[in-house]
Amino acid sequence: MNNRFKALPQISATAVSLTTALISFIILLPVAALIHQSIVEYLPFSQHVIDDTFSGIVDTVLSDYISNSLLVVSGSLIFACIFAIAPAWWCAHYEFKGRKYLQWLMIFPLAIPAYISAYIYTDMLDYAGPIQSSLRLVFQWQGPQDYWFPDIRNIWGASLMLGLALYPYIFLLLRNAFEQRSQSLTQAAQLMGASERKIFWTIHLPIARPALAIGCTLVAMESLADYGTVQLFAISTLTTAIYDSWLVYGSLSSAAKISCLTLLFVLTLIGLEKNSRKKQQNFDSRSAKPFPKVYANKTKTAFIWLFCSTVIALGFAIPLITLISYCIDYWVENINGDILTHSKSTFILAAIAASIACLLALLLNSQQRFNPSKSNQAKLSLSSLGYAIPGTVLAIGILIPFTQLDIWLNTFIQSLGYEKVGLIFSGTTFALILAFVIRFSAISNGNIQAAYKQMPPNLDDASTLLKAGRLKTFRKIHLPIMTPAIVSAFLLVFIEVVKELPASLLLRPFNFETLATYVYQFASDEQLEHAASGALLIIVVSLLPILLLSRSQKMH
Amino acid sequence: MSIKEQTISEFNATAVEMNNIQVAFDNTNVLNKLNFSLPAGEILCLLGPSGCGKTTALKTIAGLITPLQGEIDLFGRSVFFNSNSATEKVTNIPPQQRGVGFIFQDYALFPHMTVSQNIAYGLPDLNKEERKQRIEESLQLVELLDMQQRYPHELSGGQQQRIAVARALAPKPQLLLMDEPFSNVDGQVKRRMMADLRRLLKDHNISCIFVTHAKEEAFAFADKTAVMVAGEIAQLDKPAVVYNQPKSCAVANFMESGNIASLRNSQKILDRIDHHWHKDFESSGYWLFKPQHLSLNKSLQNTGITLIDTTYIGRGYQYELSVQPDKYNPASTIIWKAESEQALNINIGDNLAIEYLASPHWLQE
């Protein structure tokens, strides 16, 4: 009944339906492979030998992996909330000099990958680094026994680095929620004698709770999935354990089991967030009128600027300036041909992955638009699931089935009397592109879904009544209206691919580097100075969505 | 062939014939055996409260919603037929081939196309020259010839509505369907738009069905009005007939035709009212008392009728009365309205004697 234009000739409807079903299958495949690999050896009649690497890990270090992961996640959340909540409120509630610039500058740290900051601060705060050296010079201290200096190569240091890189998620969502707060609720509270502080704690913050929950979930998921920072600080977490199980112990089975455990944590996080969102509608009391901002006095303005600029300096300016100075100091190493080669291959890879992700999003969303059904909606939701899977977990999930596929293919080709073709699925950029598409389809889907939601369904009906078929409606109405959304979806996926590290580290073919793996390799060899230009390139590319976002908000 | 010449050929035919149309969403009936017909060249208003199924009926005629069963003929041509019998073939002509123009509540103008591109969209079969001519012809009809290169967001609400009309009429539809076309404009502009559009439809003899929940629009624009209640047509007639002689309480209630009293209450109320008509309480049903025919006078006795509010309504005064048919049962109290052109010398709380100056209208239930 709800089937729009049911009577139209179903132009290759079956083909579209089959394609979308195939997409859903491929997206589900890694998770299914992980579960299968984790339990296959215990199945009756299984020919797999029971791998005791995992039981060894369980007996010795698994509890450390779990507790370290939970500590890093909690620490990152604490730091992110400290850096984000108050500034979000100030930027939404007060009017002060430079507020418009400050609220954009506060998002800039999102462009700096946490492992780059981690490297820079380790270098800076090290015994031989500029800070300790200057202190020794000023106070005439002779050696480390003469003074105490904090060490950041620990869980709290990693949490601080992740908190600095991820707090903008909470800041953005919360500022938006605060901006939309209801004027009448505030006035009602004021008339009942509540102070500004009480109104914030009892009215505004509880109403913004869903936004805070989404922001915190994003920060928690990103910090749980982090590989670069914790590995640099030598903290063993679930992600580093997956990496080590596979690359150090060569045990795919224990990598799969730890991956399943990590997925369980992710699912719990999503469950908690969904639960908190249940009440969102009750709390949704947006004001139609923009809330007039309160003018901050000079002292308050100075305090706001001091706090925020410290955060921006720590999260953005100091790492950026340091990278620029590395670049200048090690100019020759930084302009070598490797950077150009890796940038080119990264950008090509990112463009391919982003194009595929956008095409899939268009296919799935247009199918749901023309044929709204529960199964099409399920395919759409399924294709967005990948974002929740940490890169390392996803990489293992892809390696398992595609390595097997390669083995089967080579055996088959050999049986025909031909030479082996090699690992064409798991050992080429195919696996990388697949991982990127699965992981970042949620972004392209989200953008295109939002664009479709904004497009009144009456436009489709009008087009049909004006004698247009589905294809013409899609080509002449949907595509032109959605062009900005498609462009931004492409750019966002492109940027995420350029920044992606953990899956790239595990899935890159032999002798192939992306910008992120190239930079990370230098960082882990304590030679980031030589790849500073690559790091700067990642940052510049990552700043693009922030500039796009600021432009689109200005347009609104 | 101009729009006028083309549509004139359909004169005297039946524009729309709907029989036993049933539509359900999620197993809930939205249209329940809907039947009506519309002679060619007439304007029919589907009137009813929100959720009564009027927009569904409109979209069903257009082919945007497929009924479970029933029959729809447009100008004698069967566009939908499904009797749910295994032996009879199902007919379902797609929306593109039904030859109807549709004006949406939000006009649904394509935001990324200019006015002329919007109109050209529905004319894919014409060559460039013919298309240009048709666009100009349609824009001339709505007097917006100079707006061809504008985008929808550069037009006012009234202009957008007229472009939507031009776009819908450009392919020379046999029937124009409009979903709450005047709901986004108010006051003077709305009255002017209704008058212009009605003249345009009448000049070109275009049949039209439009949907609204505002009875004033039905009075001003339609030749006939069908009041829909819960997926069925409760009454279809000229607007004045539907308003003055509603067939049922539901219609009278929606049209705000007057005060309704059940037979039991009427009997007791009538005992308190001076009246001049023959009472017949043999059959069941309801009486409808028009506010403008009620005459009010202050009474020194306890009549059980009290004035509770007075409101100035422009053309006169409206009085709200508390009528208690049974003094032993306060729960039986009902509220009646009376109207008078002059201010009456009565005050809130006064006991009133009522005289009804006409014959009340009998409603069958």
Whichever domain contains A221, its CATH number is 1.10.3720.10
- Weakest mean pLDDT among A309-323, A473-487, B156-170, B351-365: B351-365
Please report whether residue A378 resides in a domain: yes
- Let me know if residue A271 belongs to a domain: yes
- Sign of the alpha-carbon torsion through B137, B139, B140, B145: negative
Least confident range from A298-302, A429-433, B258-262: namely B258-262
Please give the backbone phi and psi of residue B78, each rounded to the nearest 5 degrees, phi first: -75, 120
Q: Are B346 and B298 in contact (CB under 8 A)?
A: yes
Q: Are residues A239 and A372 in the same domain?
A: no
Q: What is the pLDDT of residue A5?
A: 42
Query: Which residue has tokens 């829909």?
Result: B228
Band the pLDDT of A12: cuts 50, 70, 90: low
Q: Is the pLDDT of residue A10 over 70?
A: no
- Cβ distance B92 to A7 less than 8 Å, yes or no, reads yes
Suggest the residue from B25, B55, B96 to mutate for an interface test with chain A (most A CBs closer than 10 A).
Answer: B96
Residue at A546 is within a domain: no
Q: Give yes or no: residues A247 and A360 share one domain.
A: no
Regarding whether A478 and A379 lie in a shared domain, the answer is yes
Q: What percent of chain A has pLDDT over 70?
A: 92
- CA quadruple A25, A31, A34, A36: dihedral sign: negative
Q: For residue B334, list its beta bridge partners.
A: B323
Asked if the Cβ–Cβ distance from B62 to A458 is below 8 Å, we say no
A354: tokens are 């982003």
Rg (CA), chain A: 26
For residues A118 and A543, give the distance between their C-alpha atoms in angstroms, rounded to a whole number: 19
CA distance A1 to chain B (A): 6
Average pLDDT, integer, range B150-155: 91
Q: Are residues A393 and A295 in the same domain?
A: no
Give me the residue from B24, B96, B112 closest to A467, CB to CB.
B96
A480 vs B95, B112, B122: nearest CB:
B112
Determine contact: B106 vs chain A, CB below 8 A: yes
Residue B1 pLDDT exceeds 50: no
User: Is the Cβ pair A466, B108 closer than 8 Å?
Assistant: no
Tell me whether residue A275 is in a domain.
Answer: yes
pLDDT at B278: 59
Q: What confidence tens digit (pLDDT) does each residue in A377-403 have? A: 888 888 888 888 899 999 999 999 999
Reply yes or no on whether the pLDDT at A432 is more than 50: yes
Task: Report the residue of chain B nearest A465, measured CA to CA.
Answer: B96
Confidence label for B143 from pLDDT (cuts 50, 70 and 90): confident
Evaluate if residue A13 carries a pLDDT over 80.
no
Q: What is the pLDDT of residue B44?
A: 96
CB < 8 Å from A in window 189-218 of B: none
User: A481 contacts in B (CB within 8 Å)?
Assistant: 110-112
Provide the pLDDT for residue B355.
81
Supply the angle between the helices A429-454 and A391-415 in degrees, to the nearest 10. 130
Q: Which of B23, B62, B105 sits opposite A465 (nearest CB)?
A: B62
> Chain A within 8 Å of B124 (Cβ-Cβ)?
yes
Residues in chain B within 8 Å Cβ distance of A456:
106, 108
Q: Secondary structure of chain B in the HEC alphabet?
A: CCHHHHHHCCCCCEEEEEEEEEEEECCEEEEEEEEEEEECCCEEEEECCCCCCHHHHHHHHHCCCCCCEEEEEECCEEEEEECCCCCCCCEECCHHHCCEEEECCCCCCCCCCCHHHHHHCCCCCCCHHHHHHHHHHHHHHCCCHHHCCCCHHHCCHHHHHHHHHHHHHCCCCCEEEEECCCCCCCHHHHHHHHHHHHHHHHHCCCEEEEEECCHHHHHHHCCEEEEEECCEEEEEECHHHHHHCCCCHHHHHHHCCCEEEEHHHHHHHHCCEECCCCCCCCCCCEEEECHHHEEEEECCCCCCEEEEEEEECCCCEEEEEEECCCCCCHHHCEEEEEEECCCCCCCCCCEEEEEECCCCEEECC
**pLDDT, average across residues B10-37:** 86
Residue A426 above 60 pLDDT?
A: yes
CATH number of B3-99+173-254, picked from 3.40.50.80, 3.40.50.300, 3.10.20.30, 3.40.50.720: 3.40.50.300
Count of CB contacts below 8 A, A vs B?
A: 74
B65 CB near a chain A CB, below 8 Å?
yes
> How big is chain B, counted in residues?
365
**Inter-chain contact A481–B124, Cβ cutoff 8 Å?**
no
Instruction: Tell me the shortest Cα–Cα distance from A489 to chain B, in angstroms.
Output: 20
For B91, name the nearest residue in chain A, comparing CA atoms only: A7
Residues 6+ apart with CB under 8 A from B136: B145
Do residues A390 and A317 share a domain? no
Hey, where are the domains in chain B?
3-99+173-254, 258-363
Instruction: Judge whether B62 is closer than 8 Å to chain A, CB to CB.
Output: yes
**Mean pLDDT across the stretch B317-327?**
83
What pLDDT, on the 0 to 100 scale, is given for residue B202?
A: 92
What span, in angstroms and rounded, lies between the C-alpha atoms of A551 and A240? 38
> Sorting pLDDT into bands at 50, 70 and 90, what band is A357?
very high
Q: Is the pLDDT of residue A408 over 60?
A: yes
Do the Cβ atoms of B63 and A469 come within 8 Å? no
Closest approach of A174 to chain B, Cα-based (Å): 32
Higher per-residue confidence, A192 vs B292 = B292
Choosing from A280, A299, A332, the residue where a domain stops is A332
Position A281 pLDDT exceeds 60: no
Residue A289 has pLDDT above 70, yes or no: no
Pick the more confident residue, A497 or A47: A497
- Are both A409 and A311 inside the same structural domain? no
Mutate to test the interface with A, among B21, B22, B64 (most CBs of A within 10 A): B64
* Nearest C-alpha neighbor of A538 from the set A523, A553, A556: A523
Q: Please give the C-alpha separations between residue A372 and each of A4, A6, A19, A380, A452, in angstroms, as whole numbers.
A: 8, 11, 16, 11, 12
Q: What is the mean pLDDT of chain A?
A: 86
> What percent of chain B has a predicted confidence (pLDDT) above 70?
89
**Domain contains A307:** yes
From the number of C-beta atoms within 10 Å of its C-beta (0-12, 13-18, 19+), residue A257 rates as buried
Question: How many domains does chain A fold into?
Answer: 2
A176 pLDDT more than 60 = yes
Output the average pLDDT for chain B: 85
pLDDT digits (tens, 9 = 90+) for B97-113: 888 999 988 888 888 88
Predicted pLDDT at B271: 63
Q: Looking at the complex, does the CB of residue B277 fall below 8 Å from at least one CB of chain A?
A: no
pLDDT in tens, A471-523: 999 999 999 999 988 988 898 899 889 999 999 999 999 889 999 999 999 99
CATH 3.10.520.10 fits B258-363, yes or no: no
Which of A3 and A386 is assigned the larger pLDDT? A386
CA angle B77, B79, B80 (to 5 degrees): 130
- Contact across the interface for A465 and B66, Cβ inside 8 Å: no
Q: How far apart are CA A552 and CA A503, in angstroms?
A: 31
What CA dihedral angle connects A538, A540, A541 and A545, to 10 degrees? 130
Q: Give the distance from residue B108's alpha carbon to the nearest chain A alpha carbon, in angstroms.
A: 5
More confident residue, A83 or A244: A83
* Confidence class for position B5, pLDDT limits 50, 70, 90: very low
* Angle between helix B128-141 and B157-169 (nearest 10): 130
**Chain A residues whose C-beta sits inside 8 Å of any chain B C-beta:** 1-8, 456, 458-459, 461-469, 476-477, 480-481
Secondary structure string (H, E, C) spanning A129-143 = CHHHHHHHHHHCCCC
For A419, phi and psi rounded to 5 degrees?
A: -80, 155
Q: Looking at the complex, does the CB of residue B349 fall below 8 Å from at least one CB of chain A?
A: no
Q: Is the pLDDT of residue A166 over 60?
A: yes
Domain, as residue range, for A256 = 62-332
Q: For testing the chain A interface, which of B72, B82, B121, B153 should be mutated: the one with the most A CBs within 10 Å?
A: B121
Q: pLDDT class for B273, splitting at 50, 70, 90?
A: low
Same-domain pairing of A310 and A426: no
The pLDDT assigned to B327 comes to: 67
In a domain, A401, yes or no: yes
Which of B63, B94, B121 minimises the CB distance to A466? B121
Residue A4's pLDDT is 45
Q: Which residue of B has its CA nearest to A472?
A: B121
Q: Is residue A341 part of a domain?
A: no
* C-alpha distance across the termini of chain B, in Å: 50
pLDDT of residue B275: 60
Residue A306 covered by a domain: yes
Contact B124 A461 (CB under 8 A): no
Confidence of residue A277 (pLDDT cuts 50, 70, 90): low
Q: Which two tokens stand for residue B325?
A: 């048919």
Listed residues A332, A359, A385: the one ending a domain: A332
The Cα–Cα gap between A469 and A11 comes to 9
